[in-house]
Copies of this chain bind each other. A is one copy, B any other.
């Protein structure tokens, strides 16, 4: 059920390893204890076109949206957001020290009544 979808400017690929970042987010999401592992889906989308702040092409960004089925208590969501944010920040520290980058996260609920789902991932996990 939990979705971790991020957008990033194409120039970020010269600053960090995007595939590795996906793993970092997935592992930190498991660590929170809030999300069942089989439902975790992390993915990133590169923007070839972007324009940031004063328009200087050196600026980069990454913006992570976390969506989860409604019903979790606010303090647990807050704690999970913090854990994931810290993991992202730590992974990006060397890049942040060198480059002009904006990092942001937003968590929001999914309306459970209008969000059907199915799938076979659990059948393909090691037992």
Contacts and interface: CB of A to CB of B under 8 A. Distances in A.
Interface in A56-90: 56, 58-59, 61, 63, 67, 74, 77-78, 81-82, 85, 89
Interface string A88-116: 01000000110111111111101101111
Given A81-B114, A106-B115, A119-B101, A49 B55 contact: no
Q: Quick one: copies of this chain in the complex?
A: 3
B105 A115 contact: yes
Given A7-B5, A110-B106, A119-B101, A40 B52 contact: yes
Q: How large is the interface on A (under 10, 10 to 19, 20 to 34, 35 or more residues)?
A: 35 or more
Interface of A: 1, 3, 5, 7, 9, 18-19, 21-23, 25-26, 37-56, 58-59, 61, 63, 67, 74, 77-78, 81-82, 85, 89, 96-97, 99-108, 110-111, 113-121, 123-126
